[in-house]
Amino acid sequence: MTARRPWWLVPATVYLAMLVIFLAWSPANRSEFPLDDAWIHRVYARSVAFGHGFAYNAGAQEAGCTSPLWAVLSAPAQWLEQLFGIGGVVWAVKLLGAALGALAIAAVYCLARRLTSSIWPAVVAASLFACEPALMFSALSGMEVTLVICLWLWLLAAIVMQRWRLAAALLGLLPVARPEALLLALACLVLLAIQRRITRRSILYIALPTLLWVAFCALATGHPLPNTYYVKASGAFSIDALATTFGALVQHGWMRTIVYPIIGGAALIAYCVRYREARAPLALLAGGSLAFVLAVVSTRSYLPLGYYWTRWTEPGVLGVAAACALGIALALHAMSSAERRIRAGAIAALALVIVASVPRLVGSIIERAARLGSDGRVIARLNVAPGRWIAAHTPANSIIGANDAGAIRYFGGRATIDLVGLNTQEIAFHRIAREDLEQRIDWIAIYPVLVRSYPGFAQFAVEQRFSIPREEYTICDCNGPTEMVIGRRVTPPRP
């Protein structure tokens, strides 16, 4: 391959084809988000866009946003609502996620290009990574996953290119894209300190975004981390996390054929042994991404049964997938200087691994594209539709109690109490008695099973029900809730 030809168009075309497949699969892939949490991000992004800070309810700052950078970066999409309606906001957020996914692929291309000084390994690595259906699902999910993986891969590329100012900026942004990414930032910080590429002053600049977010959380709630980490963290390491980590890594894409990650990982190690200059960035990519997944699954209740859980580990999973793609491409490049017989055998073996993995990859693409639409339809019927009903049928000064607090708040437009506590600090930190909480709420929008936890809700009159057939519920591969009820208080609140 010659440098004059635009070979980067090969992975770009592969990624564009994946984007077309996912968007064309069903209308829900284009118009819905597959997770209610995406609408929580929209609540905070809307507040930021119109100058109200990180407010979940009007006039009160809340530390319920686990990715403040995603809320800020995607906030301009909210301005489109006045021109094109909510559909314009959804399209803008999905295209932003797709653009970040494309930048992540470009980072893989850049890494391979810099490490080998050759174009074709970069084309191979980027093209393999562009096929990952988990990357495309996350890009169109409305979540921050592609932002995190984009920052992570470009941070490593900046280190390889010795662009230290760019590396410092990306280091600072990682933890405010996803707090668990602090682990990745610290690993890179140690490397840069060892290489003496960092000063005490630059450490302050790097830490500034995180320190500002910690200060905001502390001022808003009295705790240094977002509410979710106090509500969901299990706080204890379990040896079962090792098995769960492996399951998370091989759930989608090329990795479903077990031999692919084995060969990709082995090839990466062999390349690092031979080429010393590649060891640090590649070890960071593979080891840091693997540690990210392990840290997530071992510190919270994690069930790899649907995107609700796997979105937490997806940045690390995609990092490992990128490492395997690089391993195969770099191994092919290393073999180009070997004897003809060895070279032919190695190339044939690696080609066989890729070909053998194609059927499972295709199956994974179909599954992810279909699941993006089916999950989106569930959220539309169980979360978005109740939110719209609340906007149309409840007084403007009503207080809503909800267990899924994204679409209910975004579409309902009413002050909302998140009964789980992710967006309501009084619940997250046990500052209000259950009886007092029940007395504060005028309407409820909850799964019926939650009435067991709040006996006072049994006195609310059911005004509307929203349900979905069990066979159409795909949010998780489990016996999840298929009905949302909206109830009205029929007894006056206690004085």
Q: Around 385, how many Cα atoms within 13 Å sit in the side-chain half-sphere?
A: 16
Residue 3 lies inside a defined structural domain of this protein: no
* CB distance 223 to 217 below 8 Å: yes
Q: Output 239-242 pairs: Cβ under 8 A, ≥24 positions apart.
A: 241/294, 241/297, 241/298, 241/302, 242/294
Q: Which among 11, 17, 15 is positioned nearest to 126, based on CA atoms?
A: 11
**Last residue of a domain, which of 341, 373, 405?**
373
Same domain, 167 and 116: yes
Question: What is the DSSP track for 204-217?
Answer: HHHHHHHHHHHHHH
Q: Crossing angle for the helix pair 81-116 and 120-130, nearest 10 degrees?
A: 140
Q: How far is CA 309 from the centre of its chain?
A: 10
Tokens of 482: 């298929």
Structural domain of residue 467, as residue ranges? 375-488
Tokens of 136: 């495309």
* CB distance 86 to 380 below 8 Å: no
Residue 1 lies inside a defined structural domain of this protein: no
**Last residue of a domain, which of 373, 389, 409?**
373
* CB distance 210 to 226 below 8 Å: no
Same domain, 310 and 413: no
Question: What is the DSSP track for 121-133?
Answer: HHHHHHHHHHT-H
Query: What is the pLDDT at residue 274?
Result: 84
Residue whose pair of structure tokens reads 């699954």 in the numeric block = 297
Tokens of 171: 């280091």
Same domain, 250 and 110: yes
Query: What is the pLDDT at residue 238?
Result: 62
Question: What is the DSSP track for 200-253?
Answer: HHHHHHHHHHHHHHHHHHHHHHSSSS-THHHHHB--S--THHHHHHHHHHTSSG
Same domain, 400 and 352: no
Residue 494 lies inside a defined structural domain of this protein: no
| 427 Cβ contact partners less than 8 Å away, ≥ 6 residues apart | 417, 418, 419, 420, 421, 437
Residue 493 lies inside a defined structural domain of this protein: no
Residue 308 lies inside a defined structural domain of this protein: yes
Three-class DSSP category at 187? helix
* CB distance 158 to 198 below 8 Å: no
Same domain, 292 and 402: no
Same domain, 317 and 336: yes
**Last residue of a domain, which of 373, 400, 416?**
373
* CB distance 142 to 24 below 8 Å: no
Distances 373 to 23, 137, 291, 369, 410 between C-alpha atoms, Å: 9, 10, 31, 7, 21
* CB distance 135 to 126 below 8 Å: no
Same domain, 151 and 21: yes
| 68 Cβ contact partners less than 8 Å away, ≥ 6 residues apart | 44, 54, 176, 213, 216
Give 10-residue mean pLDDT values along the chain (495 residues). Answer: 75 97 97 97 97 94 94 97 94 98 98 92 96 98 98 95 91 94 90 78 87 95 90 65 82 92 90 85 93 87 86 95 94 75 75 89 96 97 97 96 95 95 91 86 91 82 94 88 93 66
Residue 53 lies inside a defined structural domain of this protein: yes
Same domain, 423 and 289: no
Same domain, 367 and 379: no
Three-class DSSP category at 374? helix
* CB distance 57 to 405 below 8 Å: no
In total, how many domains does the chain have? 2
Same domain, 434 and 454: yes
Question: What is the DSSP track for 245-299?
Answer: HHHHHTSSGGGGSTHHHHHHHHHHHHHHHH-GGGHHHHHIIIIIHHHHHHHHHHS
Residue 495 lies inside a defined structural domain of this protein: no
Query: What is the pLDDT at residue 8?
Result: 87
Same domain, 301 and 417: no
Same domain, 345 and 480: no
Residue 276 lies inside a defined structural domain of this protein: yes
Q: CA-CA-CA-CA torsion for 103, 108, 114, 115, nearest 10 degrees?
A: 170
